Structure 1
């Protein structure tokens, strides 16, 4: 409340109530702790109707709240302002939003990079039905934003819903949960620790019930989309019965472990975990939660679960367990690339030209010792663009899957056995210079157009590489002056950017550019239209 000290007591009371309502709405709907919900409040002068923003990576959701503490229902003017604030947020137009929201820019952008859903809630104390003119405005926003996918949800929560929210939020501490172990063992006493096998559907429902509250604060960051949890998703979808073999399981620390029986059974026994926190295995929990939301059958999924009680341990026991169970190196898809001997051949060939290509994790790029340096990730993105729009879109959406199987496509399409080392080197150069010139074209555009440019770089680069090949640019020539060629095409690059923005606003008016340019089906057709228009201009 420090930013409202210049208001009189009556105004401060109104602001306090409004902010409390915003935090209450976030806590109850996002299922996050009261402390985190209060920290999510961004209400201030010039906030464009955004009073709180709550992020829950476990569910892949961003909650945006406008809170009105008076007893009337939302007016069309208030909804219109909220709509505009939501648009600013979706377009990452930070300059148009309040300072408190701007300070959370990095957090919000990082969460938005994944496939998240934005849930907008207009929370108020009105008991009457929402004004029809107001709902028409929110329905129009939904129609426009969701034109390229189910990105936005819009809700009105009045007096009745907020009574329910109050009851939900009052119990948002560390959760209690009953887990049924099919088999279990203990090192000493079940009240101290348990290790056993639990069905995936139980854990999925636990994640769905408690959301972010389930996870220790020290590991919430790993709930972001990674190569690892994309593999988990694929296993759950294609071979759920094999999940136990491939997965390391989860570790839980709870305040206490109890059982209704004095002597628990060795099979199919229920243990009550009070005040539990998942300290390792958030990726596994996230994958199970996503599978549940997609109605995937989880009855055949088995997960190894370790539970430890804090009773009898020091105050920092949870922190130590969290730290030490999350500091082991994980093997990701990228590590498997080092098993491909052709990668070593590419690296050695380029090294003879004073070009460093690093394909192993942990190798440091040395720009002082080499004329040029790049790594596997940059090479993959560049070659994805060189091989076409489809692979470029795939690399933008999920680069880890480009390395998932080094014996099959898309990996072999990017790194065929006849790939010339110079082709990879020149593709990387091309993409670096093109991206710089293409992004520079947005300097003379508005914020939304700039967002379209930023999200279309992969597709645009793929189209421009195709243009270069059509003009007989030989990527396999180690002496090719890529930078000069791309730089000489400044007018063409700007023209391409203008076409992309214009056609995007025809195809996806008011929609979310980030999701649009990750949609392979939509981008295939869109790229064809852009290519046709680009050729018609004579570029």
Structure 2
């Protein structure tokens, strides 16, 4: 049967993605190789659609499989929610429905994830580059980091080897030591088959459930309610998987904060789960007792036809995940379940139930804080003393920068300004954690001073503004530190200012704010050095700013260094964008080195990859409009080594980059060309030249004279 399903999936992939999937990046030895790559890439596009519904064309553009894909085949970024979602897809096609995914694939996928978390985007191929601006937006989200799902899209029906899954989970766990940020999902042949069939596939799931302490409603429509055990819910998901959510408008979002909290509650306090969970609602075509003696208040078995979970998909998914993690402990949990029969309901009633149960906004801890008399008083002080707005309720429009702030921004700023860096780490890890009673009291205190709150907000904004400016000239770990480390840097800077009179209305706070830009630059240097020294030059920046212990150690080192008056550690050259026509005192020119060594064969196709945020802002869309703009052919020549695909003219690497930037943005800016042109699977011209010099025992250096 699986072979039949494979054929059907293949047919639909060919119908939907022929002429949309980019296959121009390489030549295949046989037509079969080309066909297999098309199907694998199309499968990656389909997986992208499953995770992030979109058109066939957009899904095809999400695919970047090929040379320098770093173990990943497609990417999708969702920015509409308060916490962005990133899906990273690896697809494996097999005509017999037996696609393989082993340890090598796990290592490659995790390595690709590491590069993305390090913001090391130019290690990926040119088709990946179009997604970098969205990735940057996702990682620039204030108050947290995005949720990332590794999606294994596999044409197979058998479960993966347990050792492979364990290796994958261990790699993911390294990123989740503080809070869950990364998860994985397996889409197999059944998922793809259901997806391409759409609503027609929706599975008319027939099953039997057991309700303990059940009750019922008979008017105006039939419904049952009661308690199900955790093992039974987990088994239901194991058997029917995503088909259970056919009518659910949101499906199971495995990485939402709600889902994680549900899972953790079940793992930590299974006996409390029934009380803390909102439960599960299922629609059924009809419900029939499975035995003759079903008595309300007791235990009842029911046969359900056409069942679908319309509210509680996240609960079901979280139950399955938690039960898989620790079956013995979670077995003590129970969950409330409602079964609604549509047998005698009017047309459209099921849709009304689905919409109504999924559009009720949950109450959050911060909502209760808006009722705090201190916050109400603070709002009044903002209006009467500062003549500004202070928004304390969700749903109210946020004021622009000049006219006020929100309670959330205030909490974030106060966390950064707190003497204990632990609170800055907590805010970076999970903003919702700031609304816990103890943390909230520690940040806002018993007497809220409007001047301290507003000035703290101004400080955090000034720090972020300066970091945004600095990021344009940074890359690698320094760019990551400037992107993720806003609260860390704000904490360090705050400790350098005279804040003794921050609550005094007559204090000239502008004098202190004027010091911020220079202090930010110094603090960044100190923080980066401390992170590299304490945790190694390959450690994750995200861990350093989300882990309370690491944040405290790094902040302590940076604060001491700055208070002692020592000069800030200079940033390594590799962390700085080299957009300059000034020679760097290099002894051997990169391009000349490569030409002399005949390192790159004539006719090799090179890819252009932007190396800085300004370049990506200016050039990403321009490059995407015409793929030929990002390609050039190499020749070993004393001058003008690159023939640009866009106009077939010859340029030096730096001369071509300068011409491209001029055309894309109208700006005439010199650039270090060897850092931008890459030989796929090998590295940039700069990297290759350094390798040649190392082999020859020469001093590492590079300039690229325009010829």
Shift of 1:392: 1.2
Shift of 1:494: 1.2
Asked whether the 8 Å contact 1:53–1:65 carries over to 2, the reply is no
Q: Counterpart of 2:256?
A: 225
2:430 match: secondary structure: helix
Q: Which has the higher contact order (CA 8 A, sep 6+)?
A: 1
Q: Counterpart of 2:630?
A: none
Q: Aligned equivalents of 1:180 and 1:233: distance in 2?
A: 22
Q: Aligned equivalents of 1:76 and 1:205: distance in 2?
A: 28
Matched, 1:459 2:488: yes
Asked whether the 8 Å contact 1:355–1:372 carries over to 2, the reply is yes
Shift of 1:380: 0.7
Q: Counterpart of 1:419?
A: 448
Q: Aligned equivalents of 1:107 and 1:196: distance in 2?
A: 46
1:278 match: secondary structure: strand
Matched, 1:355 2:388: yes
Q: Counterpart of 1:429?
A: 458
Distance 1:72 1:236, change over 3 A: closer
Asked whether the 8 Å contact 1:250–1:304 carries over to 2, the reply is yes
Shift of 1:489: 3.5
Matched, 1:338 2:370: yes
1:218 match: secondary structure: coil
Q: Aligned equivalents of 2:540 and 2:321: distance in 1?
A: 22
1:308 match: secondary structure: strand
Distance 1:449 1:520, change over 3 A: same
- CA shift digits 1:88-127 (9 cap, x unpaired): 43345556456578559479948x96686765869799xx
Q: Aligned equivalents of 2:260 and 2:20: distance in 1?
A: 43
Matched, 1:374 2:374: no
- CA shift digits 1:504-527 (9 cap, x unpaired): 345254444334422223322333
1:530 match: secondary structure: helix
401, 415, 438: which one aligns with 2:433: 401
Asked whether the 8 Å contact 2:212–2:299 carries over to 1, the reply is yes
Shift of 1:445: 1.0
Matched, 1:18 2:29: no
Gaps spanning 5+ residues in structure 2: where? 1-17, 157-163, 196-201, 569-707
Matched, 1:202 2:219: no
Q: Counterpart of 1:531?
A: 559
Asked whether the 8 Å contact 1:115–1:515 carries over to 2, the reply is no
Shift of 1:337: 0.8
Q: Aligned equivalents of 1:392 and 1:361: distance in 2?
A: 22
Matched, 1:193 2:223: yes
Q: Aligned equivalents of 1:63 and 1:411: distance in 2?
A: 36
Q: Aligned equivalents of 2:279 and 2:173: distance in 1?
A: 41
- CA shift digits 1:241-283 (9 cap, x unpaired): 4443444322122445455435645432233445543222345
Asked whether the 8 Å contact 1:205–1:292 carries over to 2, the reply is no
Q: Aligned equivalents of 2:91 and 2:260: distance in 1?
A: 34
Q: Counterpart of 1:438?
A: 467
5 Å-filtered alignment, 1:199-278, equals 199-207=229-237, 212-215=242-245, 216-220=247-251, 224-226=255-257, 232=262, 236=266, 240-261=270-291, 264-266=294-296, 267-278=298-309
- CA shift digits 1:419-450 (9 cap, x unpaired): 32211111111111111112322211115532
Shift of 1:456: 1.4
Shift of 1:50: 2.2
Asked whether the 8 Å contact 1:145–1:152 carries over to 2, the reply is no
Asked whether the 8 Å contact 1:4–1:12 carries over to 2, the reply is no
Asked whether the 8 Å contact 1:180–1:269 carries over to 2, the reply is yes
Shift of 1:182: 0.3
93, 114, 117: which one aligns with 1:90: 117
Distance 1:62 1:456, change over 3 A: same
Q: Aligned equivalents of 1:261 and 1:516: distance in 2?
A: 59
Larger radius of gyration: 2
Q: Counterpart of 1:520?
A: 548
Shift of 1:63: 5.5
Q: Aligned equivalents of 2:377 and 2:114: distance in 1?
A: 49
Aligned CA-pair RMSD: 5.1
- CA shift digits 1:58-79 (9 cap, x unpaired): xx99563154779999999999
Asked whether the 8 Å contact 2:463–2:490 carries over to 1, the reply is yes
2:359 match: secondary structure: coil
Distance 1:196 1:323, change over 3 A: same
Asked whether the 8 Å contact 2:21–2:42 carries over to 1, the reply is no
71, 74, 89: which one aligns with 1:64: 89
Q: Aligned equivalents of 1:194 and 1:312: distance in 2?
A: 14
TM-score, normalising length: structure 2 = 0.58
Q: Aligned equivalents of 2:138 and 2:171: distance in 1?
A: 21
1:417 match: secondary structure: coil
Q: Aligned equivalents of 1:52 and 1:176: distance in 2?
A: 35
